[in-house]
A and B are shown apart, each in its own frame.
Chain A
Amino acid sequence: MQTFDITIIGGGHAGIEAAHIAAQFGVRVGIITMPGIGLGSAPCNPSVGGVGKGQVVRELDALGGLMGILADKAGIQFRTLNDSKGFAVQSSRVQIDKDLYSIEAEKLIATISGIVVVREKVIEIKSIDEGFEIFTTERTYRTKKLIMTVGTFLNGKLHTGSTQTQGGRVGCEPSLGLGSLFCEIKTLPMRFKTGTPPRIDKATIDYTKLEEQPSDASVRNFHCLHEPFVRFSEQVSCYLARTNPETMNIIRVNKERSPMFNGQIKGVGARYCPSIEDKAYRYPDKNVHHVFIEPEGLNLNTMYPSGISSSLPKDIQQDYVRSIEGLEKAEILVYGYAVEYDVIDTTELSLTLEHTQFPNLYFAGQVNGTSGYEEAAGQGYIAGVNAALTLLGLDPLILSRHESYIGVMIEDLASNTRDEPYRLFTARSENRLFIREDNSLLRMFPYRSQLHLNTALDAYQRKFINAYEELMSFCDETMIPETSPLILEFSGEGDLQKLSKRMSVTEILKQAWLNPVLTLERLLGYHGVTVSLDLIRTVAISKKYDGYIKRSESQFERLKKMDGMKIDWVGISASKNISFECRQRIIRIKPDTFGQLKLIEGIRPATLAVVAAKAL
């Protein structure tokens, strides 16, 4: 019988991150994954990153994760979202070649001697004295620690029109048994639902009628050891199409045939990721919606139309797709579907993602009710690293929500019950000006060095941190005299933006009208100092936000004091001043403190105001 120290069920984005980091500690790792699916496959959007998510990918990368490396290698279109909105909320997103991504994942995992990939279907898992016994269709495995990254396969059910099939993904075998194996593990009373759009034949789209979005050469690659701007693959464009009244009308008149609205699907979908049916029925006045046409790969002949996911019958999908300008002759190669699946109750997980009732059992990814590859990968890393650390008797790795989006996510998951799929938004963080892409290395360095792995990555980070400290001091100490031509150059328009006195570089970087990155670049050039663009960005943006971050820290302290305040949820749930929806959520979670109430998903700030006013 083959034995592992750590076994991961599922080879998706959570699974490979967990395996990859765990194996670094020299433990024996097994990935048991469904036959026929490549590692790290992308059944939904062919993209990695996005607002808030780009930060997660960079955090992972700084921690020694996989996702950044794979995304760079498979990246075929790069973009910075929120480009015009300030550095703190700028995020990178890359379209990936799905096949290439999976091939790179396979290649990378194969090079790690400590990982064994088993492609068999699991039929039963038993808890034994020293861990678990896993029975597949072929043989039995034994493991000390078990990480479940089973995605949507927990009692998954697919819907396209009235057609229903068992399974977690189109074209894959279902994994029916998993639900029954863990009947003692608390799952949420409701099922979650997610959906995908129909995939369109690349050659049947009239691109001349669509708005082109080319790849942006100025976006930095994710992995910090990669050449910043050298791409691994050929770059292609995405396109923007729009729905019109006819599109929406087709969907509206066929409401009865939508499984989501005729009662066939009972699962709860995410409000932030509505299907095209949601958009049509919930917003009857709005007919123009964005549809992003994204390539799924260089050699794949499908395009992914983001924004029109649907579970309508095939003929209707065909009709509404063809009503869109540019898609009149579109051929659908794979029809859209919705999938319903079970989700475990994450309030039973600790901050290491280990189950509090079942030691040595971890959960990560979509099975925890999150959506998104990045969220899954972040959890996979946390579960994997902590499984390995505890196995070796070392301290766990817990990321603070004040320092990372991964920390925000894990704390949100562990502290309240999901009632819709969870996605990271920058708004979930209380410390948005600090947890940025540009300083991810800075933020993660203390955590990474805690692991004592001493790889090339660690050497790079140490060097970077030293250079950072040096450049920070340089900015504080270097004074630009009022006679310098730079003072005039950096003055803006009008008297209010006139610089006229001797200033430190730091002071100059804080001026509202100056782009701190370009300014620092120019100042360093003037002084003949050459440093990397990465370093310039980190330092310049840190200086720019410094004052704001200090202020928000003092506010955070004040809030923390208030969070401990006891509240009476029974009284609150009877209050007429609070919306019905909020009351329902409060009754379900029964929060004891104001802090807990605040973390409940979907609680309106107005409710918090009412409660706070009363709880005083």
Chain B
Amino acid sequence: MKFLYSDEPIIACSTCNHANAALAVIRISGFKHLDDFLPFFTHTGPIEPRRVYYTKLFFQEEVFDDVCLTYFQGPKSYNGENILELSIHGNTLNTERILKLFIEKANCRLAAPGEFTYRALKNKKLSLSQVEGLDLFLNANSGYALDQGLSLLSGNLQEVYSELYDLFLKHKSALELSIDFGDDIGEETAKAYFHSSLLDFKNKFESLHRRVIPMDHNLLQPEIVLAGLPNSGKSSLFNYLLRQDRAIVSSTPGTTRDYLSENLVIEGVKYQLIDTAGIREATDLIEAEGIKRTKKKMHHSFFSVLLINPLEMRDEFSELALLHFDAVCFTHCDLPGFMEAQKKVITDFPHFGPMGAFDLTHEVSRLENHLFESINKKYLELTKSKPILLDRHKLLINQVGVQLQNYVKLSSYEEDVAILSHELNTLATCLSELLGIISPDQILNSIFSNFCIGK
């Protein structure tokens, strides 16, 4: 990150979507003197912080726009710096012209993605977890993600981590107590402290660990995957659910070679609906790759639907049968011999999960309702346990979990407390990463580059 050490004034349009809108907000941050900007406005007289002034923006007698100006004086601002916020008219040409004006005439630099927030972090206005929370909040796909983003922003989740850290410290100090003060407090007491504090920490940690659901289920971008043998009707269902003809539907098997994905909102939660290549013995390389990706997608999906034409059972099907699906539906029920074929599949593969026969031409709305209900039920089920959404946190909690398990095991037979204490330090390093003590640079990089510009 080049901007790590720069402190010159930066400018960006905080609302820009490269489309015309009624309003746009431009932010300038990190300037030393407000006076440097006053000549650009017709407003005369003092500008008080956090008050809105309606004024004209001009340069060399040319009026650019009518704007509303708000001044936030550091350190009482979003990122701790002096900030000037301008509400302007949201024509993209207008926005670009005004940005250009300040860049050329007021020595501002166009902000890099996430740079405003980076400065907030640098000025200790936000902690790392809070920044992550903000990211989550801004990019939330559901009400639950919004809530967790807010909870990180306000430090609630961090508080849980701090409590955990405190319990950890109690245990660590119990260990140190037994080493440096064993004689003073007695062996029995030291041992008792050691075990009770380890138990407290373990219990607290486990309650947090339960909130980490398997990494495969990404609740930030939950995916609904449609899978099945070629020509089983995946693309038809995909198009129907999205009410558009994005997937090419034809009766030639193997048409969808890679996968297609679109947003689909169910009960206020944004999902990715994915149409995959049919699983079969590939006849060419591209198709083989498509099938490989399908299997991978399946594995990481939040919800997977298998479509089966029971009349076209082939050898590849037995391979499919080993996978687990959230829903299975039988298609092509208008064809003769469907009922017998379906019965055979159900008998041959009894562990397939919920099944139903749907005529994609006549019963598709019933199928849609059924699917949406199941998807929503699963989502609610998973969010009930207040799962941790951020991958970095999930990863770390899992790491702490593994190390804690090793440590607990070690403590059951290792009598050398110096070694125990040494192992505990490794755990401490991991825990501190959860609280943001030691943060590898790449975390920051990824956060800031995933940020929408301006905030």
Contact = CB atoms under 8 A, between A and B. Distances in A.
A613 B417 contact: no
Given A85-B179, A432-B418, A613 B129 contact: yes
Given A82-B179, A426-B179, A551-B426, 8 more contacts: A272-B181, A427-B176, A433-B419, A551-B422, A562-B438, A609-B432, A614-B124, A616-B436
A290 interface: yes
Given A609-B437, A613-B128, A613-B436, A87 B418 contact: yes
A495 B320 CA distance: 40
A232 interface: no
A85 B435 CA distance: 32
Of the four ranges (under 10, 10 to 19, 20 to 34, 35 or more), the interface on chain A belongs to 35 or more
A571 interface: yes
A616 B128 contact: yes
A513 B414 CA distance: 8
B350 interface: no
Contacts of A51: 179-183
Given A51-B179, A606-B166, A86 B437 contact: no
Interface string A589-611: 00000000000000011101110
Contacts of A562: 437-438
Contacts of B421: 432
Which of A426, A432, A613, A615 gathers the greatest number of chain B CB atoms within 10 Å?
Answer: A613
Contacts of B438: 558, 562, 612
Contacts of B184: 290, 307
B125 to A, nearest CB: 9
B432 A612 contact: yes
Interface string B398-434: 0000000000000001111111011001100100100
Task: Name the prevailing secondary structure of the B interface residues.
Answer: helix
Contacts of B435: 609-610, 612-613
Contacts of A548: 419, 422
A512 B127 CA distance: 42
A425 interface: yes
A435 to B, nearest CB: 11
Contact of B169 (A52, A307, A605): A605
A466 interface: no
Given A512-B413, A552-B425, A555-B425, A613 B127 contact: yes
A82 B179 CA distance: 7
Nearest to B126: A614
A552 B129 contact: no
A84 interface: yes
Contacts, number: 108
A568 interface: yes
A426 B180 contact: yes
A195 B165 CA distance: 36
Contacts of A605: 165, 169, 172
Interface string B164-193: 011001001000101111111011000000
Interface of A: 51-52, 81-82, 84-89, 272, 290, 307, 425-427, 432-433, 512-513, 545, 548, 551-552, 555, 558, 562, 568, 571, 577, 604-606, 608-610, 612-616
Contacts of B415: 84-86
B121 interface: yes
Nearest to B131: A616
B218 interface: no
Nearest to A423: B180
A88 B418 CA distance: 6
B437 A85 contact: no
B385 interface: no
Most-contacted residue by chain A among B121, B413, B418, B429 (CB, 10 A): B418
Contact of A609 (B124, B162, B180): B162
A86 B419 contact: yes
B413 A86 contact: no
| Size class of the contact patch on chain B | 35 or more
B169 A89 contact: no
A86 B418 contact: yes
Contacts of B169: 604-606
Contacts of B162: 577, 606, 609-610
B450 interface: no
Contact of B416 (A81, A87, A290, A558): A87
Contacts of A84: 187, 415
30 contacts: A51-B179, A81-B183, A84-B415, A85-B179, A85-B182, A85-B416, A85-B418, A87-B418, A88-B418, A290-B184, A427-B180, A432-B421, A548-B422, A551-B422, A552-B425, A555-B425, A562-B437, A605-B165, A605-B169, A605-B172, A610-B162, A612-B437, A612-B438, A613-B128, A613-B129, A613-B158, A613-B435, A615-B124, A616-B128, A616-B436
A589 to B, nearest CB: 19
A7 B366 CA distance: 100
A87 B419 CA distance: 10
A568 to B, nearest CB: 6
A577 B425 CA distance: 23
A555 B429 contact: yes
A51 B418 CA distance: 13
Contacts of B165: 605-606, 609
B156 interface: no
A272 B166 CA distance: 21
Select the residue from A568, A577, A616 with max chain B CB neighbours within 10 A: A616
Contacts of A86: 415-419
B436 A433 contact: no
B447 to A, nearest CB: 11
Contacts of A552: 422, 425
A85 B419 CA distance: 10
Contacts of B186: 290
Contacts of A545: 419
A571 B124 contact: yes
B156 to A, nearest CB: 13
A555 B433 CA distance: 14
A612 to B, nearest CB: 4
Nearest to B184: A290
A548 B421 CA distance: 11
A604 B166 CA distance: 10
A425 B124 contact: no
Nearest to B436: A613
Contacts of B444: 616
A85 to B, nearest CB: 5
B362 to A, nearest CB: 59
Nearest to B182: A82
Contacts of A87: 416, 418
B439 interface: yes
